[in-house]
Amino acid sequence: MERNEFSFYNSENDGYRGGFGDYSDPNPVQPNPTPAPGGKKPRRAVPKRAIALVLACALVGGGAGVGGAALYNSVNQPETVVYQGERPTVETVANSNSGQPMTPEQLYAANLASCVGITVNTTVNIYGQVTTSAASGSGFVLTQDGYIVTNYHVIEDAVDDSSVTIEVSFANGDKYTAKLVGGEQDNDVAVIKIDATGLQPVTLGDSDQLVVGESVYAIGNPLGELTYSLTDGIVSALDRLITTSSTNENGQTETTTLNVLQTNCAINPGNSGGPLFDSYGNVVGIVSAKYTQSSSGVSAEGLGFALPINDVKEILSDLIEHGYVTGKPYMGIQVKDVSAEIQSFGISAGALVSYVAEGSCAEKAGLQINDIITAIDDTAIDSSTALTAALSTDYKAGDTATLTVMRQQQEMKLSITFDEKNAETEAANQLQQSQNSTQQYPSYNWPFGSFGW
């Protein structure tokens, strides 16, 4: 399938930077929650859906639902409880008067206290003048003892800079300074923590039960100013595979492949990190991106994306307990796409290795710069995106796989046992890259950015 190039809001546009002044969030009227009627029936298992589409993009930059809830994935802290709700099956929604969904008024009333605004303040030096800029996003309360979920790109400035402050605002006017618990860039998820108890957490839903056409709702802070806005729409599509891109501090292009659901809820800069609810008041997604314009300049509206909550539940648990996602495979390499132009000279499609970290599992396996990875076990690899998807979907740290590699137009097999992706392995990789910036790279005109694995 031909790859389409799209333009998306990136994190620099997620709210206004440096434009807040003395602005303070208004306190919206707190409606009285009205319980939704109806009982619940057992959930039905839904087969895993196939990936439907590949998009190229960059990041954008909507409570405790009524009804029964069960503890999800217990965490070591005794007061840290994540609630997971249930909902009727698709057949019940379509054919029965029982288990009716909440009205938008009920949903907003039940969940407003669980939705937050997030402001990240960064001190910058502009032409010798020190000033503070701000980026705004959204989030939601995960546990009553202060754990809050948002997008990684909303708080990424605070990951490596302790001087960056994160402020969390509630609809009732309460404000807290938050600390970063952990972030997961590959899935654009982060957990922050405020010093508070007795908060109202959301109830996590089951995104595998979503069907195209059903109603969903987002609560967030569009433009960083229109705080605690409710927007509605439908599930427009499921299992979109999008590739987001951004530029790191070294000026290098970094890309991330995400599985998302598509919605026509109104989503704008500032909505990032906010919850997406189903009509039963359960969080089924995390608002992440919005399609704005194609590479040909054609504008678009009503094309928003959210991370399915089922894809990140274990990630959230890992971030709370460990500060990072455990068990992720790591090769210690940088790879690039082999362009169609280069392929026209007889070079194989695949993931071109442009860097190999010393001491990494890739070096131990025998991978070299200019190798082209064309398969991992029985999965064909025709691009760097395909390698990223295969590693994140099918493998964990400690697993052993067979790489099919083209080296100087000769095919060879290499056995590799994956390292774990964590702060130590990534730091070692980045340090070596900075120290070996003059390392020999291919002389081809490679048009795409690198993927770190």
Count of other CB atoms within 10 angstroms of residue 393? 11
- Of 320, 319, 317, 285, nearest to 304 by C-alpha is 285
Specify the pLDDT at position 46: 32
Segment 60-89, tens digit of pLDDT = 443 333 333 333 444 556 577 777 766 654
Are 410 and 301 in contact, with CB atoms under 8 Å apart?
no
More confident residue, 414 or 6: 414
Specify the pLDDT at position 293: 57
d(CA 319, CA 311): 14
Segment 264-289, tens digit of pLDDT = 999 888 899 999 999 999 999 999 87
4-322 shares its CATH topology with 329-452: no
Specify the pLDDT at position 86: 67
In the chain, the percentage of residues whose pLDDT exceeds 70 is 67
Specify the pLDDT at position 136: 84
Q: Which residue, chain included where needed, has tokens 């895993």? A: 48
Task: Say whether pLDDT at 416 is over 70.
Answer: yes
Point out the catalytic residue in the list 11, 272, 279, 354: 272
Specify the pLDDT at position 246: 64
Is 4-322 a CATH 3.60.20.10 domain? Answer: no
Segment 223-259, tens digit of pLDDT = 878 889 999 999 999 998 877 666 656 565 666 778 8
163 carries an active-site annotation: no
Segment 129-150, tens digit of pLDDT = 656 667 689 999 999 999 999 9
Mean pLDDT of the chain: 76
More confident residue, 251 or 304: 304
Specify the pLDDT at position 241: 81
Point out the catalytic residue in the list 25, 188, 278, 419: 188
Are 373 and 424 in contact, with CB atoms under 8 Å apart?
no
- Count of all residues that appear for the chain in the document: 453
Q: Can you tell me whether residue 446 is helix, strand or coil?
A: coil
153 carries an active-site annotation: yes
Classify domain 329-452 at the CATH topology level: Pdz3 Domain (2.30.42)
Specify the pLDDT at position 130: 58
d(CA 164, CA 213): 41
Q: Is the pTM of this model over 0.85?
A: no
d(CA 135, CA 174): 19
Where would I find the beta strands (DSSP E) of 189-228?
Answer: 189-193, 203-204, 215-220
Domain ranges across the chain: 4-322, 329-452
Point out the catalytic residue in the list 153, 186, 337, 392: 153
Exposed / middle / buried, residue 441 (Cβ in 10 Å: 0-12, 13-18, 19+): middle
Segment 155-208, tens digit of pLDDT = 998 988 888 999 999 999 999 999 999 998 888 999 999 999 999 999 999 999
Segment 197-231, tens digit of pLDDT = 999 999 999 999 999 999 999 999 988 788 899 99
Specify the pLDDT at position 296: 62
Specify the pLDDT at position 128: 63
272 carries an active-site annotation: yes
Task: Say whether pLDDT at 301 is over 90.
Answer: no
